[in-house]
Amino acid sequence: MSRKKSFVKNFTKLLCKRELISVEDSLELPDEFSHRAKESFDNFLLSEGLVSKDDLLESLREYYQVPAFDAQGHFFQRSTVRLFPKIFLIKNVIIPIERDENMLIVLANDPTDHELLSKIGEFVSYDIHFRVGLYQDILNAVHEYYDASVTQITGKDIEESDIDYKDVVDKVD
């Protein structure tokens, strides 16, 4: 059984045990989700209205045995996020939350991924502590810190525009 299928099956059992879903739903959910392969299971549960975000985070905390963290609306430190390339964070569905001396706290959708520590170790030498978070919230946070602001002007933007850069500098001075 694949890692993803095993997670869906075991996590569904946990949701049933916590009485967040019915026994019938716990039997049907893995099959229903298998037809939506491009969607994360946590996003599937939320989009179907099967569990609340708070209950889902609490269930993930219990399942992975690490603290849960809600990334939505959190102000991540730009310098900490940029310790890693954007594609690395997206591919591994992680984002660093904070660093303190020799410790780095990392938010991960799957903090039990056995390869994650060594992958992170290719970029930093901190002692890593994990938190678990929602797939889409982590990806949204990564995009927020790497995508250009709509008000950001780059040198290329100025070159491609009809604006004379000298005029812009003169108006600022």
**pLDDT value of residue 145:** 86
Task: Identify the CA nearest to 89 among candidates 127, 116, 53, 66.
Answer: 116
Predicted pLDDT at 147: 76
Q: Are 88 and 119 in contact (CB under 8 A)?
A: yes
Going by C-alpha positions, the residue among 152, 85, 144, 92 that lies closest to residue 116 is 92
pLDDT for the residue 5: 84
- Residue 72 has a pLDDT of 93
Q: Measuring CA to CA, which residue among 166, 119, 153, 23 is closest to residue 108?
A: 119
pLDDT by residue, tens only, the chain of 173 residues = 677 888 999 999 999 999 999 999 888 888 888 777 666 899 999 998 999 999 999 999 999 999 999 999 999 998 999 999 999 999 999 999 999 989 999 999 999 999 999 999 999 999 999 999 999 999 999 999 887 655 555 555 445 545 444 444 444 44
